[in-house]
A and B are shown apart, each in its own frame.
Chain A
Amino acid sequence: MYQYDRLDRQLLNSRSAQFRDQVARRLDGRLTEDEFKPLRLQNGLYLQLHAYMLRVAIPYGVLSSLQLRGLAQIAREFDRGFGHFTTRQNIQFNWIKLVDAPDILDRLASFDLHAIQTSGNCIRNTTTDPLAGAAHDEIANPLGWCEIIRQWSTLHPEFAFLPRKFKIAVSAGATDRAATAFHDIGLRMVKNSSGEIGFWVLVGGGQGRTPRIAQTLTPFLPTRHLLSYLEAILRVYNAAGRRDNLHKARIKILVESMGISEFAELVNTQWLNMQGSAHDLPAGEQARILAHFEPPSLRPAADAGESIRRYRLQDRGFDRWIGQNLHPHWHPGYVSATVSLKQNGRPPGDASAAEMIALADIADTYGRGELRVTYTQNIIIPHIARQDLPKFYADLVAAGLGGAEDGLIGDMIACPGLDYCNLANARSLPLADRIFTHFKDPDLRQEIGRLRLNISGCINACAHHHAADIGILGVNKKGVEHFQISLGGAAGEDAAIGKIIGPSFAEADVPAAIGGLVHTYLKARHEGELFADCIRRIGHDPFRDALYGTG
């Protein structure tokens, strides 16, 4: 992973000192709240229902074990002992005091983390495939490009006050595991006919109240032009994006209103104007950054097949976990493993300080001291030798993190909802737990198979309910929390926006409704047919009938 040098550290320390001064000016009244707000937001500090929330950037979801231990310390000292991992591969602390924020930023800087641009109308943390650099199906390792984008977008002087927030995702696998089509800019690494690697650039995707799937801006951009092209897109957006209406300010609205071809023409004209000026990263600097992401040298691994088969027969939990939580690696003797942060009684994505420390130890013992935060609010530990899996699993179980939920109905994404967030209409977390309870039999969850269920507490769609097989949206119906169900969304290369199936349900009725949908699927599916494929084949009607009757 990227190793900070003296200049990277100096930048973080200056930024932290700058924020300390801004907080002091706010506390003594020299800054108004209106003036302070964008400054604190660009340092990750939100004001929620009960306290400040600090969102810490985990660049493209990659954490060292040392950093995870540092985050655990922050959870203990400044929060209530927990951290909350988000769909944007970040971590949030929900119980922060404003006066502590500068100290926390100093602490983060001491282990090369920060909260810069995790909020506000600026370029946010770039996200990517949690298996990046460890996947079996990659065209190239996208992490170096993510770091290049991180550096370029950090304190970019021209783009700190955009019309609205701006999110970039990069994916390089044959399967898109970064939901690139739901980002302001999606970058998919591809090879052209002459074998050169470049980016397929998508623009204008997003969720919220106006969900849109990103459209192709250019099918192939040579990697060396990445920054000048991003700069051209951002420049067009910054100049022409709407600023009169918060709900129409994202780039998806601009792209839609002028049409993708006119937008592409503006970007290309802008890009051509910029040619010759040094907008692209100099080759030497590009090479310096990419060199941090060379593949690890992994020892040849012994054939572990027999011993793993034996363990699977002995231990039902291990058998389930092996079947569900592993990801193939480019090295046949290795895998990457999901650590599920989804359990009955646990808000999805929450981890305690003790759990973070246990995971850091496990990553040091069996992996390369590196962990990934996933879009689905779990942790992945990459580069695990297959022969170590029984011990690896035993350590996870000892830490209380042996759940085999990856991709199953229990692997829900949920936003913090009305328990924390002042935007929410409804509480997502208790509903997630009720649904988990409804499907409490692990054999049933396994029988249902891969099924993405996401719960957003309001139309801002932080839990990506639009992109779920089953999406649940909290609405306010005459002052009472209700939930609207949609079906058929998908986040990957077959991205689709779910369709609302009918009138909303009271909270208590939602688990049974989900039960009805699942029952309909189990009855109708062909052998091995995924929920999404089943819906495509039989349509929404059988599901609607199951919920609302045939009348």
Chain B
Amino acid sequence: MVQADMMIGEQTLAGRVESSQLLFDLATAGCVAWPVSGLCLVTDSIAPASKQIARIDTISIEFPVFSDGRGFTLGRCLRTEIGFTGALIALGHIIPDQAIFLFRCGFSHAAIKPEQLAQWQTALNAITIYYQHMPASARSRQAKTH
């Protein structure tokens, strides 16, 4: 959902990610190189002019605390309503147990602590069945079909 009155911060990732953090690929369960630049949204921000945003390569969404679920809606709206197809990175306080939710809401990557890599990999494969018949996004797993 696009809300005009919300703040948007266009910033680099500097200061938002610790140098030791890994960029975890939610599709392959491996780690990849950090992008050089991109747009960073705090969870408060909701995408501005959609056409501008759809052209960006990388968008990061920062979760202030893992229990603040606005980022899931923001991510899903970027994918399904704005048509964003670039890299979508989850930053901030997120936990491995959210891996599948992040992935299914359209996040391609998560910034994680190196010591949690194994937990993220395990969590990503914990549940492979789901009920929601969600709109096809760039990346979707096995849906429950009959």
Partners in one complex: yes
A-to-B contact residues, CB < 8 Å = 5, 7, 10-11, 14-15, 17-18, 21-22, 25, 30, 35, 38-39, 121, 151-152, 154-162, 227, 235-236, 238-240, 243, 266, 269-270, 273-274, 277-282, 284-285, 288
Q: B66 near A: Cβ within 8 Å?
A: yes
How far is the CB of A115 from the nearest CB of chain B, in Å? 15
Q: Mark B116-141, 1 if CB is under 8 A from A, else 0.
A: 00010011001111111111100000
- Beyond A22-B97, A238-B70, A277-B135, whether A285 also contacts B129 by CB under 8 A is no
Interface 9-residue window, one of B10-18, B54-62, B100-108: B100-108
A284-B132 contact given A21-B122, A38-B67, A270-B1, CB 8 Å threshold: no
Q: State the majority secondary structure of interface residues on B.
A: loop
Q: What A residues does B134 contact at CB under 8 A?
A: 278-279
Whether the pair A277, B80 counts as a contact (CB closer than 8 A) is yes
B133 to A159, Cβ gap below 8 A? no
| Structural contact, A279 and B70, CB atoms closer than 8 A | no
Contact A279 B135 (CB under 8 A): yes
Tell me if B20 is interfacial: C-beta within 8 Å of chain A: no
- Find out whether the CB atom of B95 lies under 8 angstroms from the CB atom of A35: yes
List residues of chain B with CB within 8 A of the CB of A274: 80-81
Determine the distance from Cα of A38 to Cα of B95 in the docked complex, in whole angstroms: 11
Q: Is the CB of A14 within 8 A of B127?
A: yes
B95 and A161 form a contact (CB under 8 A): no
Contacts of B3 in A (CB 8 A): 239-240
A239 touches B101 (CB 8 A): no
Q: Which of A21, A273, A278 contacts B81 (CB 8 A)?
A: A273
Query: Is B136 within 8 A of A236, CB to CB?
Result: no
- A-side interface mostly: helix
Is B69 engaged at the interface, CB distance under 8 Å to the other chain? yes
In the bound complex, CA of A236 to CA of B81 (Å): 14
Interface positions of B (Cβ within 8 A of A) = 1, 3, 46, 66-70, 72-74, 76-77, 80-81, 95, 97-98, 100-105, 119, 122-123, 126-136, 144, 146
Q: How far is the CA of A183 from the CA of B126 in the complex (A)?
A: 32
Max chain B Cβ within 10 angstroms of own Cβ: one of A21, A238, A240: A238
Partner of A157, one of B104, B119, B128: B104
Residue A238 contacts which of B69, B100, B135 (CB distance < 8 angstroms)? B69
In contact, B136 and A157 (Cβ under 8 angstroms)? no
Alpha-carbon gap, A156 to B131, bound state (A): 8
Known contacts A39-B97, A288-B146; is A162 also within 8 Å of B69 by CB?
A: yes
Cα distance A238–B97 in the bound complex, in angstroms = 19
Q: How far is the CB of B71 from chain A (nearest CB, A)?
A: 9
Chain B residues with CB below 8 A from A160, complex form: 69, 72, 98, 101
Q: Does B1 contact A239, Cβ atoms closer than 8 Å?
A: yes
Which residues of A are found within 8 Å of B73, using beta-carbon distances? 158, 235, 238-239
The answer, among B101, B119, B129, for a CB contact under 8 Å with A11, is: B129
> Which residues from chain B contact A25 at a C-beta distance below 8 Å?
119
Q: A residues within 8 A CB of B122?
A: 21
Complex Cα distance, B129 from A359, in Å, reads 34
Among all A-B residue pairs, the 8 with the closest Cβ atoms: A161-B69, A277-B135, A157-B104, A157-B101, A151-B131, A18-B126, A11-B129, A14-B127
**Chain A residue contacts of B46, Cβ below 8 A:** 239
How many Å lie between the Cα of A5 and that of B144 in the bound state? Answer: 11
Could you give 13 example pairs across A and B, Cβ below 8 Å? A14-B126, A21-B126, A30-B119, A155-B131, A156-B132, A157-B100, A162-B69, A238-B72, A240-B3, A243-B70, A274-B81, A278-B136, A288-B146
